[in-house]
């Protein structure tokens, strides 16, 4: 017996739903849009940018677009993603390493179903018990990975919890070039590395940075105080922040 008259309609509806879902998943997040807005405000065509946790290159793409003459550096420890970045961004310097406070080698947790959650340690995942594959990666510091004469204008850090370690390994760069920094932080990610919000806030303060959200900075609003940052770290609503010198 052949297909019923409604089967082609059902199949067509499912295909349309699938296309809508793929389009929805491909949309940039609010934080990505705010990051791009920040870059458009602070970068010149020849500005140098650093993308730590470059992953698939969504932010690196805008760095290259906004600052086409800039010397950009991207850091991505997952080999397949690093290869893709080298292919898609031949003018950028792609480093297949994880960044932290000290150099060496370390286990790296590749979260297979959602590789954007991968990191040097476990974080709180959006789904319970995801498949995690442990690989060995090179670890470096940002200070030792960048040319000492390269004036960095913008630094993005999204490493699923290791942000404090990245900043500790970037103190020389931050002190010399004073880039604007966009970073992820919160109890579910950075807190799983044993870092308290006061440590993150205090480190940035010691380096001469004030902390706010990207939306507040773009709107000319007030900075976040230490208590407000700590409250947000624990319960939200924000988990991306901006540090400005």
Residue 174 near residue 209 (C-beta atoms within 8 A):
yes
pLDDT at residue 7 is higher than 80? no
Of the candidates 79, 140, 153, 149, the one whose C-alpha atom is nearest the C-alpha of residue 115 is 79
Q: Between 196 and 7, whose confidence is greater?
A: 196
Under CATH, domain 28-101+142-244 is a member of which superfamily? Answer: Vaccinia Virus protein VP39 (3.40.50.150)
pLDDT in tens, 205-236: 999 999 999 999 999 999 999 999 999 999 99
Q: Which residues of 51-76 are buried (b: 16+ CB within 10 A; e: fewer)?
A: bbbbbebbbbbbbbebbeebbbbbbb
CA distance 44 to 61: 15
* Residue 97 scores a pLDDT above 80: yes
- Phi, psi (rounded to 5 degrees) for 85: -65, -40
Please, which pLDDT band fits residue 21 given cuts at 50, 70 and 90?
A: very low
- Inter-residue contact 241 to 213 (CB < 8 Å): yes
Quote the pTM value.
0.87
Which three-class secondary structure state does DSSP give residue 43?
A: coil
* C-alpha span between 67 and 40 (Å, rounded): 9
Position 27 scores a pLDDT of 56
Kindly report whether the peptide bond that precedes residue 237 is cis, defined as omega within 30 degrees of 0.
yes
DSSP string covering 156-193: EE--TT-HHHHHHTTHHHHHHH--EEEEE--TTTGGGG
């Amino acid at each position: 017996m052949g297909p019923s008259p409604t089967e082609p309609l059902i199949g067509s509806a499912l295909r349309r739903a699938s296309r809508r879902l793929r389009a929805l998943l491909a949309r940039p997040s609010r934080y990505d849009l705010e990051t791009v807005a920040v870059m458009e405000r602070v970068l010149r065509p020849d500005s140098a940018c650093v993308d730590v946790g470059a992953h698939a290159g969504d932010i690196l793409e805008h760095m290259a677009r906004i600052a086409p003459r800039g010397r950009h550096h991207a850091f991505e420890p997952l080999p397949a993603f690093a290869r893709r970045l080298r292919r898609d961004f031949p003018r950028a310097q792609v480093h297949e390493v994880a960044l932290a406070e000290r150099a060496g080698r370390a286990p790296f947790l590749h979260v297979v179903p959602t590789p954007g959650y991968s990191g040097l340690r476990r974080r709180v995942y959006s789904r319970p018990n995801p498949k995690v594959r442990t690989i060995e990666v090179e670890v470096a510091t940002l200070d030792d990975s960048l040319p000492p004469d390269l004036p960095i204008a913008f630094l993005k850090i999204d490493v699923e919890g290791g942000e404090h370690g990245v900043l500790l390994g970037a103190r020389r760069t931050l002190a010399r070039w004073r880039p604007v920094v966009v970073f992820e932080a919160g109890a579910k990610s950075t807190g799983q590395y044993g870092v308290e919000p006061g440590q993150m806030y205090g480190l940035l303060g010691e380096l001469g940075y004030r902390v706010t959200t990207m939306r507040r900075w773009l709107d000319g609003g007030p900075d976040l105080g230490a208590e407000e940052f700590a409250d947000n770290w624990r319960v939200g609503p924000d988990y991306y922040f901006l540090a400005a010198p």
